[in-house]
Amino acid sequence: DLDQDGDLEILVSSLIGEVTILDHTGNVIDGWPQATALLQSTSPNVGDIDGDGLLDVVVGDNTGKIHAWELDGTVKDGFPIQLEGTIKSVVRLVDFDNDSVAEILVHTGASRLYLLNAEGTSLEGWPIDLEGDTDSFGSWLIASTPTVVDFDYDGELEIIVGTTADEVHAYNFDGSAVEGWPIATEDWVYPSISAVDLNGDYELEVITGSGDGKLYVWESNGSPLPGFPVDIGQALIASVAVADIRDDSTPELVVADFSGKVHCYSASGALLSGWPQEADSGIVGSPILIDVNGDGALEIVAPSQDNKIYIWNANGTRVTEINPTATDWIESTPSAGDLDGNGMLELVYTSFDGKLYILPLDGNANSLAGAWSAFRGDSGELSDVVAGDRDRDRLPDQLEFTMFGTLDESAESDSDGDGQTNLNEWTAGTDLTNASDRFEVALDIQTTIDGHQLKFTWHGRANRSYQIMSSSELSKENAAQPLGDPISCDSDELIEAFSSISLENRRCFYHVVVDRD
């Protein structure tokens, strides 16, 4: 909703070298289209790149230029910016340093990853040479669009990208590699990385396919998730869509291969009954997962080079009452949203026939909360977002949806009124909605052969570490000191810790610092 009128706008690129903005009825907005370069193959994006509080439209083109415009089509000062290599990935616009100005992140055909400010200046530590094969003579079909995450929910963002060096890389904001990365595959990684909590631990898993025909899933530390990789046997160009399509409170993975088969897997890597299903031609665009018919369940929607969009139920049966078609290939990923604010979804897609299609659906717009409604799962309602923490409050989105059904609760709120913020409770591993679930430590003085000892007892939570601290005085001048080594918990368990004491000391103060591993 670029003009905040309650109706959504549509941004689209075309191979003739234009970017256009249309309103929800299909009319072109004043000031558009704007020219880029022939064979424009990536979608535009929006973000505030100059800090004026207004969204800007940014896109990369096939000659390596980044273009930027105001919403009225006025060219932004200093643009276009020339980079090395073609641009076949979407330009990401994310505020990495919390200064209300979005940085420009892009993967180019020179096998380089750029992070720029609005003046076109690379940030310190950038660009990064990904050491992959370059896009020579159009050898790249597409490029992996970088995915921005916050692996440890500390407010410091990480960047994940697939490469033509047969690797998936992860970088910190300063350009240093995230520990445990890169990870090797056996071929180019065309798809953009999906980052989703698959196993309910509120930690992001990293999901992608590769030209080697395998579906990979790794933990954030780079270790493979049990059950993966899965060998599909056909090159994977499309990105993986992830949502709970079986309504079993666990996400499923949907991936289309280059031959036109669509596969659905459980979060443990098992092929679901009824799959794979097959289109009559190849698939390059990514599937989306939405409720097309208002039955309350998510369907699989996949574009194909046979001029059709296929729709299947979660069990693999075909949805036949809706038949989106075009008069030429449909290669780009479709999108779904409530364009006109009537509470119902519309399906938006484009084709090589040069047309933009809008198809009304019977699905309710409220179903988008758990859907995968566009490329990279983007809801289309916000400017560029961080995977897993769209509201940037250091609480996992999945935790907020599970606890509150919405992202509206703040990390600094105390939702259960127990005196601890939601962020503190998430860190401690306690229930944000249950005031009686508190982190408490029992302290007991025990007599031993050698004198006396303190016994500390508490209920440890999985993936948390605990450090006992002690101090003789409660003052800034007498800082608390660690008492022994940190204690880590791999699972929920009762923790008992001991420390010898002398009763001649009139007093001593203790506290336990909890952190997430």
Please write the tens of the pLDDT for every residue from 95-138.
Answer: 999 899 999 999 999 999 999 998 899 999 999 999 999 999 88
pLDDT score at 382: 58
Q: Coil, helix or strand for 516?
A: strand
* Whole-number Å distance between alpha carbons of 165 and 169: 10
Q: Coil, helix or strand for 367?
A: helix
Which residues does 195 contact at the CB level (< 8 Å), separation at least 6?
Answer: 147, 149, 160, 204, 205, 206, 207, 387, 388
pLDDT score at 112: 98
Q: Locate 506 and state its tokens.
A: 């009139």
Model confidence band, residue 381 (pLDDT cutoffs 50, 70, 90): low
- The β-bridge partners of 246 are none
Among residues 512, 511, 426, which one has the least CA distance to residue 201?
A: 426
- Pick the range with the lowest mean pLDDT from 157-166, 312-321, 362-371: 362-371
Model confidence band, residue 76 (pLDDT cutoffs 50, 70, 90): very high
Q: Where are the beta strands (DSSP E) in 50-182?
A: 56-60, 65-69, 81-82, 92-94, 103-108, 112-116, 128-129, 147-149, 158-162, 167-172
Query: Total domain count for the chain?
Result: 2
- Radius of gyration in angstroms for the set of CA atoms belonging to the chain, rounded to a whole number: 25
pTM: predicted TM-score of the whole model, two decimal places: 0.92
The string of DSSP letters for 275-291 reads --EE-SS---SPPEEE-
User: What residue type is 314 in one-letter code?
Assistant: A
Q: What is the CATH number of the domain that holds 106?
A: 2.40.128.630
- Residue 287: inside a domain, yes or no? no
Q: Locate 282 and state its tokens.
A: 């190849």
For residue 368, CA distances in Å to 80, 338, 344, 500 come to 35, 9, 10, 57
Model confidence band, residue 507 (pLDDT cutoffs 50, 70, 90): confident
The DSSP bridge pattern shows strands 261-265 and 252-256 to be antiparallel
Which of residues 117, 143, 169 is at a domain's end?
Answer: 143
pLDDT digits (tens, 9 = 90+) for 328-348: 999 999 999 999 999 999 999
pLDDT score at 390: 87
- Residue 392: inside a domain, yes or no? no
User: What residue type is 87 in one-letter code?
Assistant: I
pLDDT digits (tens, 9 = 90+) for 277-293: 999 999 999 999 999 99
pLDDT digits (tens, 9 = 90+) for 201-250: 899 999 999 999 999 999 999 999 999 999 999 999 999 999 999 999 99
The string of DSSP letters for 437-474 reads -----EEEEEEETTEEEEEEEEEE-TTEEEEEEEESSS
- Residue 449: inside a domain, yes or no? yes
Which of residues 96, 111, 143 is at a domain's end?
Answer: 143
pLDDT digits (tens, 9 = 90+) for 236-286: 999 999 999 999 999 999 999 999 999 999 999 999 999 999 999 999 999
Is the pLDDT reported for residue 449 higher than 70? yes
Among residues 258, 314, 307, which one has the least CA distance to residue 282?
A: 258
pLDDT score at 138: 84
- Residue 391: inside a domain, yes or no? no
Is the pLDDT reported for residue 466 higher than 90? yes
pLDDT score at 383: 62
Model confidence band, residue 407 (pLDDT cutoffs 50, 70, 90): confident
* Whole-number Å distance between alpha carbons of 263 and 232: 8
CB 303 within 8 A of CB 281: no
C-alpha torsion sign, points 447, 449, 453, 455: negative
For residue 173, CA distances in Å to 100, 146, 315, 376, 472 come to 16, 13, 41, 21, 40
User: What residue type is 321 in one-letter code?
Assistant: E
pLDDT score at 380: 59
- Residue 152: inside a domain, yes or no? no
For the chain, counts of helices (H) and of strands (E): 2, 36
* Whole-number Å distance between alpha carbons of 274 and 181: 35
Model confidence band, residue 168 (pLDDT cutoffs 50, 70, 90): very high
**What count of other Cβ atoms lies within 10 Å of the Cβ of residue 126?**
18
pLDDT score at 116: 97
- Residue 480: inside a domain, yes or no? yes
Per the structure, the complete domain to which residue 482 belongs is given by 442-516
Residue 34 has φ and ψ, to the nearest 5°, of -120, 150
Looking at every residue in the chain, the average pLDDT score rounds to: 93
* Whole-number Å distance between alpha carbons of 157 and 154: 8
Is the pLDDT reported for residue 379 higher than 70? no
Residue 426 has φ and ψ, to the nearest 5°, of -60, -40
Q: What mean pLDDT do residues 31-49 have? A: 94
Percent of all residues in the chain with a pLDDT value above 90, rounded to a whole number: 81
Which of residues 116, 143, 170 is at a domain's end?
Answer: 143
Backbone region of residue 95 per phi and psi (left: phi > 0; alpha: psi in -120 to 50; beta: other values): beta
- Residue 137: inside a domain, yes or no? yes
CB 91 within 8 A of CB 81: no
- Residue 136: inside a domain, yes or no? yes
